């Protein structure tokens, strides 16, 4: 470990400090020591000319599959994929086997991360026991054990009474309440967006209103509970409009979106590529346009991957029978560049705010800034680097991406976590 690192001549962007200038960044003993044009002596010098130097990216919606499904991903391989994608930290969802619904499960994740992870790992605890939506989990114990947020991810809480009690309980510990918004009485058996395309393909549909109904219900419940509420992977324009209205009323709402919901429409499913089966499903062009507007005006706060690894044998079923999900940690940054930077929806400061600053603020975790004295979590991005997606080169254990063969522009070249190089020169640097 170099005791001091000078990152020289990069475009330093830190939305938290309203910094956007070509300058130098000095790291000493794992902390940000200075930002400025001075060029002090350092143990190691990184030439960042032509690159963006940003606070480490944070993905607040990731599935690491450990415990229980280590054949698909582990904390070790998932965090390797994270740093290769420019992420210095990930928040891992609780839909493991068994679920993260006790303090001992949260402690297990943190122990495994301390032993094997190359990025920071922030566990998200389940809201209800077994994620079954009936009986509240031990939220207080999990909060004390280190859970940064709570969610029954993949299963929105259907019972309004249980949901309100969960909101009130989470508010007692000032954690983020994350909801997967889906009324499953409307989507049961569905595998793609309901509409003409699904009818033509002979596939059962999942109507957009299923997302809208739960968002609308929860906004009403939010008026009865003082909790910070976050909508996971928004996919419909109607839901985005409801979130915008709630924010305008001053409610403590936030939301996230995935790259595939900004780049792919339901028509992509005409290929029957099982990697395109995601939940929530790919929607319409009108939904994408509405989501882009919501990102532009700040209605949607955060950009996430919803990294969901599955083995090849799992995905090799008929489209309707295959599991939901695609991987995304190693492609998310470049896909968001394609969806948002290239068409001018966001500038670089806006992108970094949504991929670093806001996730850190919402989860109230380390990172999101290059402020002097802060832990040195830094991502260096080459915005001009052109590359082709090749899943065989991924660090993730799984390969379930529909973006194989896509040519993208922009990629993380260096990822530094706590002052330690974790990704550099095209390879993940293992723990020593």
> What phi and psi values does residue 196 have, to the nearest 5 degrees?
-65, -35
Q: What is the DSSP letter of 149?
A: E
d(CA 283, CA 270): 13
**395 vs 77: CA distance, rounded Å:** 6
**392-426 burial by CB neighbour count: b if 16+ within 10 A, else e?**
eebbbbbbbbbbbeeebebbbbbbbbbbbbbbeee
How many Cβ atoms sit within 10 Å of the Cβ of residue 191? Answer: 23
Is 14 tagged catalytic? no
Count other Cβ atoms within 10 Å, centred on residue 242. 24
Under DSSP, the state recorded for 271 is: G
> For residues 397 and 184, what is the distance between their CA atoms, to the nearest angstrom?
30
What are 262's two structure tokens?
């900004």
* Catalytic site residue from 152, 153, 218, 306: 306
The owner of tokens 């095209």 is 426
The torsion defined by the Cα of 232, 95, 360 and 332, in degrees rounded to 10, comes to -70
* Cα distance from N-terminal residue to C-terminal residue, the chain: 10
Distance CA 426, CA 397 (A): 17
What is the distance between the alpha carbons of residues 214 and 347, in angstroms, rounded to a whole number?
Answer: 32
Give the active site residues.
306
């Amino acid at each position: 470990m170099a005791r001091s690192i000078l990152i020289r001549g990069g475009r330093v962007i830190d939305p938290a400090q309203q910094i956007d200038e070509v300058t130098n960044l000095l790291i000493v003993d794992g902390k940000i020591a200075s930002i400025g044009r001075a060029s002090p002596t350092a143990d190691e010098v990184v030439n960042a000319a032509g690159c963006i130097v940003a606070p480490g990216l944070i993905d607040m919606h990731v599935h690491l599959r450990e415990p229980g499904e280590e054949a698909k991903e582990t904390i070790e391989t998932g965090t390797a994929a994270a740093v290769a994608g420019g992420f210095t930290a990930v928040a891992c969802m609780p839909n493991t086997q068994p679920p993260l619904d006790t303090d001992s499960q949260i402690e297990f994740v943190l122990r495994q991360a301390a032993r094997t992870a190359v990025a920071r790992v922030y566990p998200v605890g389940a809201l209800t026991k077994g994620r079954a939506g009936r009986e509240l989990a031990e939220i207080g114990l999990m909060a004390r054990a280190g859970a940064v947020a709570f969610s029954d991810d993949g299963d929105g809480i259907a019972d309004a009474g249980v949901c309100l009690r969960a909101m009130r309980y989470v508010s007692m510990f000032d954690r983020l309440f994350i909801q997967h918004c889906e009324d499953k009485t409307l989507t049961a058996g569905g595998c793609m967006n309901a509409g003409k395309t699904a009818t033509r393909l002979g596939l059962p549909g999942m109507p957009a209103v299923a997302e809208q109904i739960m968002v609308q219900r929860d906004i009403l419940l939010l008026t009865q509970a003082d909790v910070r509420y976050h909508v996971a992977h928004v996919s419909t324009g109607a839901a985005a409009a409801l979130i915008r209205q709630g924010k305008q009323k001053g409610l403590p709402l936030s939301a996230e979106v995935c790259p595939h919901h900004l780049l792919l429409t339901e028509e992509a499913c005409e290929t029957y590529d099982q990697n395109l089966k995601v939940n929530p499903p790919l929607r319409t062009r009108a939904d994408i346009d509405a989501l882009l507007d919501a990102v532009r005006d700040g209605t949607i706060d955060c950009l996430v991957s919803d990294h969901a690894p599955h083995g090849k044998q799992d995905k090799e079923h008929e489209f309707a029978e295959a599991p939901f999900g695609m991987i995304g940690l190693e492609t998310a940054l470049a896909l968001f560049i394609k969806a948002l930077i290239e068409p001018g929806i966001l500038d670089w400061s806006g992108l970094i705010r949504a991929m670093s600053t806001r996730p850190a603020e919402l989860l109230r975790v380390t990172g999101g800034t290059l402020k002097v004295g802060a832990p040195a979590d830094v991502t260096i991005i080459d915005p001009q680097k052109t590359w082709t997606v090749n899943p065989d080169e991924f660090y993730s254990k799984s390969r379930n991406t529909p973006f194989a063969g896509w040519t993208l522009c922009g990629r993380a070249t260096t990822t530094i976590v706590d002052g330690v190089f974790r990704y550099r020169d095209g390879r993940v640097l293992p723990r020593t």
